[in-house]
Amino acid sequence: MITKTDVDEILAENTRIRDWSNVCHSSYSPAACKRHTYYLEEQEVKQYQVLLESQQERQALIQHFDYLMRYANDVIFLSNEEQRIIEANERAEHTYGYSHEDY
C-alpha cells in the first residue's frame, strides 16, 4: 500500500488563514496582530509536521516493498490498471525466464 499526500491540500488551510489575516490585520491592535501571527506560525508548523510524517510513512512503505520484492521466495508481479506487468521480483524473472527489460 502506497500513500499519496497532496502538499497543496495540506497547506490550503494555511493559505486561507493567511489571506484572511491580511484583511483582519488592518482592524486589529498591534497586540492582537502579534497573537494572530503567532497562531498562524503555530498552524504552519503543525501542517509541515503532518507533511513530514506523511513523507516518512511513504518512505517506510517503499523500503518495505523493496525488501519484500528482493528477498521473497515467491513469484511477485505488480501490474497496472491495464494488467500490464510493471514490476516483478528476481524469483519471477528466474522462474519465467524473462528479464526486467522484457516487460
13-63 pLDDT, tens digit per residue, is: 666 666 656 655 556 667 777 777 778 888 888 999 999 999 999 999 999
Question: Do residues 67 and 84 share a domain?
Answer: no
Question: Do residues 6 and 54 share a domain?
Answer: yes
For residues 2-37, one letter each, b for 16 or more C-beta atoms within 10 angstroms of the residue's C-beta and e for the rest, the string is: eeeeeeeebbeebeeeeeeeeeeeeeeeeeeeeebe
Residue 74 is given by DSSP the state: S
Contact 76, 68 (CB under 8 A): yes
Question: Do residues 77 and 65 share a domain?
Answer: no
Model confidence, pTM: 0.51
Residue 73 is given by DSSP the state: S
Question: Do residues 64 and 93 share a domain?
Answer: no
Question: Do residues 84 and 38 share a domain?
Answer: no
Question: Do residues 87 and 100 share a domain?
Answer: yes
Structural domain of 18: 1-71
Please give the C-alpha separations between residue 17 and each of 26, 34, 42, 77, in angstroms, as whole numbers.
15, 15, 12, 46
Average pLDDT score, the chain: 80
Helix (H, G, I), strand (E, B) or coil at 8: helix
Task: Give the total number of structural domains in the chain.
Answer: 2
